[in-house]
Structure 1
Amino acid sequence: MTLFRQIYSLLFGLFLLVVASLGYVQFTETQSFLTKQMESDLNNTSNSLGIMLVPDLEAGDIVGAETLINVIFEGGYYQQVKLTWLVDGKQQTWENPINIQGVPQWFIDLDFFQTIKKESIITSGWIQLAKLELTAHPGFGYNELWRTMTNAIIVFSILFLIAIVVARVGLTMILKPLHEIAVHAKEIAQRKFGPDMRVPKTAELKSVVLAFNSMSDQLKQLFNSLDEEVGELRKKNLVDQVSGLPNRQYMMGRLNSWLNEPASGALVMAKFDWLEEVHSKYGYQVRDETIKLLAEKMQDHLDEVASSVIARIAAYEFAFLITSSEHDQTSRYLQALIRTINQEMSKAGCKPNENFAIGVAERIGHMSVSDILAQTDNALQKAIKEDKVFHWFETNEKQLFTREQWREHLSAAIQDCNFKFKWQPVHINDSDNILQRELYCQLNMGDKIIHAGQFMPYVELLSLGSMLDKHLIQDVHEKHLLNKNQEPIAINLTFQSLSDPKFHEWLNTFLRSTNLSERICFDIPEAAVYSDPDSCHAICTVIRDNGAQFGIDHFGRQFGSMSYLQSLRPSYVKLDQSFAYYDDSEHSGELCRAIINVARGLDIKVIVTGIEEMPQLERFVPLKTNAFMGYIFPPTDIED
């Protein structure tokens, strides 16, 4: 809130407080006065009427008594008069309906005036003649109270409007020089480094503006230098200098991360002995240039078939991690790879389909890094031994369903909200407290429980991401999971949901309808920020505007600038699992520290993921991260 709004709100609040206090005092005093006045009038009338009725009551003159009472009753100040003759028990009653002119019925229904009654016994000496009961009519009180309060409200409203206009004009003039400083300070707080502010003539503000301009320049340079440092360290530690592709260390980290996520795909390893022929014919410079051109062509051609990570893991060995694909798509990827290799071999003067071999192993079920590496290497060695272009590792494990069966079963299970939930705690460093709980879901399909690792690849392939996220969030709300703990629940959003405007609208409506939005966190994969930044900005705005939180998942995985953090401003980032598996070398530590410092420099919490043992966690202690998660504290079932 700006300084103008703070002062304006303060004056506004003080004026309201004064007006409300005066109004309350005026109201209570008027109500009390009118009540006492009606009680006094009732007492006086009861006493005087009792004295006047004595002669008629002694004589048993009913007509005379009625005449006296009618004179009093017709004045309209009494709701009811009841006279009970004690001699024979005869009772006479006079009533006026409660019909108050000029006062709204809702005001009367508030019952500001309680029923006021006065009972008295009319006596003559020691003889009790009759009982007289008077009930005051509230009309007089309501009329007077309504008139007084309406007049007061009119006067207060006029004064209030005048005060608002005068205060706004006055504060605008007084605080005008501070407006630009406030705007610039807000931009700096959001790490938006715009042009320097104009230096004002006011002596008191001149030094403030100069200090702000200097601070803005220094922060901008600091962030840019951190971002550049991360880029240089990545090139130094994770990129092969000849090909420009990721190196073996990066590929191993990605493998670990990939196998710990719900995904499908395959690992391909290729050995290009024909590059040794190029080396022997033309020298290492031509060989290195050929490797560089080959890498560029593979990236261009293979990315069109499937999303993959291509790495140079040895002098003449390359690895291809296809992060999400089915068997047919992997087959097309392999064909495109062979075609690209043959084209580059022909350009280098080598015979196609000779002196290279490829091994392929698909990810099926739960696999470890050693499992898939062993399968891929076995396939590669068999291709080399049998002098074949490629060999596909054979497995006896069959797919659970066909694609259409997956579509049918997934659509039905998601539509019926057949979710079974687990959550994994995110522990705060050096504390037993929990920062948040990341939600995992399984699906009940008939008599089978399908884990996310099995169905999530098909959710993405069949474009069911928005449908899954929508029903999952609804089920979390309907099962009251947000009420089970005070910690927020983190929900992973699919790529389709991030790019679907209809899902954005639905999420906005949902968050507005719940009063627990602050207990929901949404994890957005870093890859989506790079691939579709506009959609990510849009959904992050929806989440932030409704009081929920969001964070970046797999932070640091992508090669690229981290300047997006300045515009998105996430509450936290979850460091990619691959950092937990990098070696303990000094260079890896420098890269990890630089990436963490980029986030910490923007006051963003850093969560380390993939922690399985205490030694892993101890590596991150000097880096001053905020929290950690992993199978050191595995996911647990959520009790109903």
Structure 2
Amino acid sequence: MVLDLACLTAVAQVMLARLLDDAVKQLSHADSSLMIPFIMRLFLMSLSKQLLILLTLIFLIVFSVNFVMSMDNIRSYLQGESEVHVQDTATSLGLSLSPHMADETDPILRTMMNAIFDTGYYKEMRLLDVDGNELIRLTNPDEVRGVPSWLIRFFPIETATAVSELSTGWNIAGTLQVTSNPGYGYLKLYEQFKSTLKFSLLILLGAILLLLVVLRMTLRPLKAITEQANDISAGKFTVIENLPWTREVRSVAKSMNSMSTKIGKTIHHLNLRLDKLNDNLNRDPLTNLLNQQMFNVDIKQALSIGEFGHVIYIKFDDLSAVVKNQGKNAVDALLIDFASQLQQLPFANVRNYRWYGSEFAVQTTDSNIEDITQIAEHIQALASELGQQYEHSDLLHMGIVSYERSSEIERLMPALIEAYEQARLIEANAFYIKENTLSSMTEMSWKATIEQVINTDSAMITFTNQAYNYSDKAKPHLVMREAFTEVRDANGDLLPIGTFFSMAEAFDLVETLDKHIVQKVLDLMAKESNPAPVTINLSLASIASADFRQWLGKAVIQSGLSPALLAFSVTAYAAAKDLDTFTNFSIFVRQLGAHSLLKRYSSDVIPVNLLKDLHIDYIRLARDLTTDIRSNTNKPDLLDIIQEIARLLEVRVLAESAKDEQDFLWLQQAGLFGISR
């Protein structure tokens, strides 16, 4: 009997249900508490796993149907073979018994029947006389050993009965009935089942392995494309060299390469423009010397790292006399000639600046008075030569002041003016070196004050520079603020915070001081009902310390604050001195769930194209870049380029102290992430 469709469907459903059940159990083994349906988990899997599961299921479905149909065909064959066999047996045995039917009690009848029946292929043999009375009955038990019951249930083999008439002469003497034994059919069917299943599983295993290899070869380019996309997102415009052989994936790879190349070229072009604009912004247009803005940046950076050096302030006393005698163009020529000669001074570690009009400056890291005197004498000789050329012997005077780690920048300009006025009292083109008066405290006083601040917990923390995002002009929201530290001396006078931290670094107290400040900030934020993001300034020495990082990680966890509210800041100038250390710290901060920020950023300190390697989240622009924007033709373009590149690199740009309304409106229109006023 042919197995009906319902039976086939039932078997396939049972097998698939078991496979799917096993798959779900394996997927949910990692987290049994997640009650996500298997289909949802399937959609969340990687493409390779989805294809592997899908193709495996298809193979199993096809295999199951073919396997069931194959088993049914074998069953049908065994059924038919059994019917033919018992009919042949009944016919041949009937012919053999017919001569002995004359005597129904002849023992040879049973003997001959036993000889055939004992082979085991028959379930029952019956010999009946002509009246239907049973003469001999031989039977085997119904038990089928070694065959599972489910096989008998799903693939039944019906018993076949054959009948043969026995005759003596011309008269019918009786009837022989032979019934087949299905046990042997079941055994053959079971052996065939095991053999077929074994080879099918081997084929399935081989097919899965082959499928894994093919999928890996096919999907490997997708992994390369994913890595390329991540690189592009991180600002690394890589190109896939080995294009995939699959046509569709190859087309995607080519498109990605084209996009990466175009974006890379755009970034490179923007960087070139940015360098040019930045250089124009930092230089005097007439003499091409660095301007006063750059002088202020350089001197602050020098003081922050504890450099020793001198500043030579140069001022032309009476350019109006040159204008009167030789015309206005002569003044420009004089200033250009002076600047050109200034750049050719035969001294190392010297930077030249033009401030405004007739004011120039020279910064040098030389601390030896004899060297400084030699530089001043060269400038003096240069002024004498130019004086003869422009018929004005008393051209300029120079005031010279030294600086060191403990110097306070607020005292620099008054000291330079005072030294300049002293030089004017000496002689034509004279210079005057003023003793260092830029510090209000001795080094030992600084050390004592720093230790007192740490021990007495007297540092005051205020949250300043509150930056708002104005994407929704009606409802700007706070996106960042800065933790600013105030310290006072024994008399209650406010100390310059830059000098305070610089001196702490000189006495190896800056790491302890940074820990102290960070802890105070965390404690203050923990008391707030709805804390906003905060920038916490750190020194380069602290972020380079493994002990500080370990302490910082524990402090953030113990505070109970969300790490996403914390942005740890380092000045761009400090980070530029050791980019590897800053990069490692940025990676560490991201692992904590917090952010990193570059403070006082400008592209001349760290090029924009290097931002992609620093793993930073924020840059806060130097104040000079966001002041008097419209008055300088280079600033709008420079800020536009920085904003555009930062957007591509997914770095958020902040601007601080945009007090002028026009500057604020421009920055708001530019779409900066945060602006403080």
TM-score for the superposition, normalised by structure 1: 0.59
How has the CA–CA distance of structure 1 residues 411 and 374 changed in structure 2, closer, same or farther, with 3 Å as cutoff? closer
Mapping of 1:432-447 within 5 angstroms? Answer: 432-443=476-487
Q: Does 1:459 align with 2:504?
A: yes
Distance 2:660 2:318 in 1: 43
Aligned partner of 2:453 among 405, 413, 416:
413
> Is 2:420–2:431's contact at 8 Å kept on the other side of the alignment?
no
What is the match of residue 377 of structure 2?
Answer: 342
Mapping of 1:162-311 within 5 angstroms? Answer: 172=216, 175-240=219-284, 244-248=288-292, 250-251=294-295, 269-271=313-315, 291-292=339-340, 294-295=342-343, 300-302=348-350, 310-311=352-353
Distance 1:457 1:274 in 2: 40
What is the match of residue 527 of structure 1?
Answer: 573
How has the CA–CA distance of structure 1 residues 576 and 628 changed in structure 2, closer, same or farther, with 3 Å as cutoff? same
Distance 1:334 1:583 in 2: 41
What is the match of residue 428 of structure 1?
Answer: 469
Shift of residue 188, structure 1, vs aligned partner: 1.0
> Is 1:379–1:393's contact at 8 Å kept on the other side of the alignment?
no
Deviations 1:326-371 (A, max 9, x none): xxx9x938764443243466699969x9965223579999998xx9
Distance 1:22 1:437 in 2: 41
Deviations 1:96-145 (A, max 9, x none): xxxxxxxxxxxxxxxxxxxxxxxxxxxxxxxxxxxxxxxxxxxxxxxxxx
Letter in 2 for 1:614: E
Mapping of 1:48-197 within 5 angstroms? Answer: 172=216, 175-197=219-241
Aligned partner of 1:494 among 523, 539, 549:
539
Distance 2:555 2:344 in 1: 45
What is the match of residue 650 of structure 2?
Answer: 603
Report SS of the residue matched to 2:349: helix
Shift of residue 423, structure 1, vs aligned partner: 0.4
> Is 1:599–1:606's contact at 8 Å kept on the other side of the alignment?
yes
Distance 2:550 2:469 in 1: 33
Q: Does 1:549 align with 2:595?
A: yes
What is the match of residue 636 of structure 2?
Answer: 589
Report SS of the residue matched to 1:201: coil
What is the match of residue 130 of structure 1?
Answer: none
> Is 1:361–1:375's contact at 8 Å kept on the other side of the alignment?
yes
How has the CA–CA distance of structure 1 residues 245 and 559 changed in structure 2, closer, same or farther, with 3 Å as cutoff? farther
What is the match of residue 399 of structure 2?
Answer: 359
Q: Does 1:318 align with 2:365?
A: no
Shift of residue 471, structure 1, vs aligned partner: 2.0
Report SS of the residue matched to 1:179: helix
Shift of residue 219, structure 1, vs aligned partner: 1.0
Shift of residue 16, structure 1, vs aligned partner: 3.6
> Is 1:301–1:340's contact at 8 Å kept on the other side of the alignment?
no
Deviations 1:480-506 (A, max 9, x none): 547543322110112332444543454
Deviations 1:74-105 (A, max 9, x none): xxxxxxxxxxxxxxxxxxxxxxxxxxxxxxxx
Aligned partner of 1:389 among 409, 414, 431:
431
> Is 1:553–1:576's contact at 8 Å kept on the other side of the alignment?
yes
Q: Does 1:574 align with 2:620?
A: yes
> Is 2:306–2:506's contact at 8 Å kept on the other side of the alignment?
no
Q: Does 1:17 align with 2:28?
A: yes
How has the CA–CA distance of structure 1 residues 528 and 390 changed in structure 2, closer, same or farther, with 3 Å as cutoff? same
> Is 1:380–1:390's contact at 8 Å kept on the other side of the alignment?
yes
Deviations 1:519-556 (A, max 9, x none): 21011211123222122112112112221101111111
Letter in 2 for 1:380: Y
Deviations 1:568-626 (A, max 9, x none): 13211111111233463333322333333332332221111122243331232332222
What is the match of residue 539 of structure 1?
Answer: 585
Letter in 2 for 1:617: F
Letter in 2 for 1:234: N
Letter in 1 for 2:579: P
What is the match of residue 182 of structure 2?
Answer: none
Distance 1:187 1:227 in 2: 19
What is the match of residue 611 of structure 2?
Answer: 565
How has the CA–CA distance of structure 1 residues 564 and 483 changed in structure 2, closer, same or farther, with 3 Å as cutoff? farther
Larger RCO (alpha carbons 8 Å, 6+ apart): 1
> Is 2:620–2:656's contact at 8 Å kept on the other side of the alignment?
yes
Letter in 2 for 1:219: I
Deviations 1:444-489 (A, max 9, x none): 6667374553633422443432221122223333455475433221
Letter in 2 for 1:187: D
Give the number of aligned pairs.
459
Shift of residue 380, structure 1, vs aligned partner: 2.3
Distance 1:235 1:465 in 2: 34
Letter in 2 for 1:472: I
Aligned partner of 2:444 among 400, 404, 413:
404
Task: Report the RMSD for the aligned CA atoms in angstroms.
Answer: 4.9
Shift of residue 513, structure 1, vs aligned partner: 5.8
Letter in 2 for 1:598: I
How has the CA–CA distance of structure 1 residues 270 and 20 changed in structure 2, closer, same or farther, with 3 Å as cutoff? closer
Which sections of structure 2, spanning at least 5 residues, go unmatched?
1-21, 36-204, 387-392
Q: Does 1:616 align with 2:653?
A: no
How has the CA–CA distance of structure 1 residues 341 and 599 changed in structure 2, closer, same or farther, with 3 Å as cutoff? farther
Worse overlay, 571-580 or 356-365: 356-365
Shift of residue 290, structure 1, vs aligned partner: 7.1
Distance 2:239 2:34 in 1: 50
Distance 2:451 2:373 in 1: 37
> Is 1:274–1:350's contact at 8 Å kept on the other side of the alignment?
no
Identity of matched residues, %: 18
Report SS of the residue matched to 1:621: helix
What is the match of residue 367 of structure 2?
Answer: 332
Aligned partner of 1:507 among 552, 565, 572:
552
How has the CA–CA distance of structure 1 residues 417 and 394 changed in structure 2, closer, same or farther, with 3 Å as cutoff? closer
